[in-house]
Amino acid sequence: MAGRDEIIAFLDALLEPASFADHCPNGLQVPGAADVRAVATAVSAHRELFERAAATGAELVLCHHGLFWEHDPRAISPALKGRLEALFKSDMSLAAYHLPLDAHAEVGNNALICAALGLTRAEPFGSHRGRELGWVGRSTEGISAIDLSQRCRTAFGREPLVFAGAADPIRSVGIVSGGGASSLAEAVERRLDAFLTGEPAEPSMADAEEAGIHFIAGGHYGTETFGVRRLGELLAERFGVTHSFIEVRNPV
């Protein structure tokens, strides 16, 4: 058992959310029980997750996508009311870390994607609001385009969307998980062989084809399971709490 505030202080110190200009509040979003024996992690906060987390006995839910976003209305909608009621009913806390969990060099989505694909994490990549959120993954010997697609299929649990480029083998991949399609232009400017993100924008296909760069979309959800799962494992190791990653798959 550990104190909720002790856990949140550890996560804040690790991820340094105050150094990011994010689209949402990072850290503790909804307070629940002061003591934590079990932690549930997942990609996105919503009612199904909270109900399934309660069934595991979790006192703390840790997500990548929390409940509150800068573009949302300030009034509480019926959907948000239902989500909050599910948390209050079980006295569960909710914490969320968004951009800090994409960018972190050890437990971040993009660093862990490099490792999952057998790439060496190299220089930072993917500038957004004054910070690089991703990494360039490199392979000295190179990876064939077919092999890289297969590795993505295994890592993300789904068939990736691929717009084939010119380089084969591939030695450099710009990686920004989630909705990072806007970083394609940076990958082209830096003359990388490939660019990997979660989901494409409408111009992505033509832009990639005309630049001759491989474009790979592994799914917004599929590319963002890595960091929050690793955080849960880290909390179990450090604080002796139990950890469950709750898979609520999303085809997007």
At 185, is the pLDDT very low, low, confident or very high (cuts 50, 70, 90)?
very high
Share above pLDDT 90 across residues of the chain, in percent, rounded to a whole number: 99
Indicate whether 115 and 85 sit together in one domain: no
Q: What is the pLDDT of residue 121?
A: 98
Locate all alpha helices (DSSP H) within 94-144, ordered by sequence: 99-103, 109-116
**Extended beta strands in 4-37, E state:** 27-30, 35-36
Same domain assignment for residues 208 and 124: yes
What is the pLDDT, as a whole number, of residue 222? 98
Using 50, 70 and 90 to split pLDDT, how confident is the model at 125?
very high
Average pLDDT rounded to a whole number, residues 161-186: 98
State the pLDDT confidence band at 132, using cuts at 50, 70 and 90. very high
- Token pair, residue 88, equals 């209050």
Taken as a whole, the chain contains a residue count of 252
Query: pLDDT tens digit string along 68-77?
Result: 999 999 899 9
Total number of domains in the chain: 2
Q: Which residue, 198, 187, 170, is CA-closest to 126?
A: 187
Tally Cβ neighbours within 10 Å of residue 250.
Answer: 12
Task: Give the per-residue pLDDT at 159.
Answer: 97
Give the domain range for residue 191: 102-223
Span between the terminal Cα atoms of the chain, in Å: 36
Q: State the pLDDT confidence band at 39, using cuts at 50, 70 and 90.
A: very high
d(CA 104, CA 82): 32
Pairing of strands 131-143, 194-197: unpaired
**Do 73 and 127 belong to one domain?**
no
pLDDT of residue 60: 98
Domain co-membership, 20 together with 112: no
24, 99 Cβ separation under 8 angstroms? no
Whether 83 and 121 share a structural domain: no
Is position 251 within any domain?
no
Both 206 and 230 in a single domain? Answer: no
- Residue 172's pLDDT is what? 98
How far apart are the C-alpha atoms of 6 and 15, rounded to whole Å? 14
Q: Residue 22 is part of a domain; what is its CATH number?
A: 3.40.1390.30
Do both 149 and 185 map to the same domain?
yes
pLDDT-derived band at 18 (thresholds 50, 70, 90) equals: very high
The pLDDT tens digits of the residues spanning 218-233 come to: 999 999 999 999 999 9
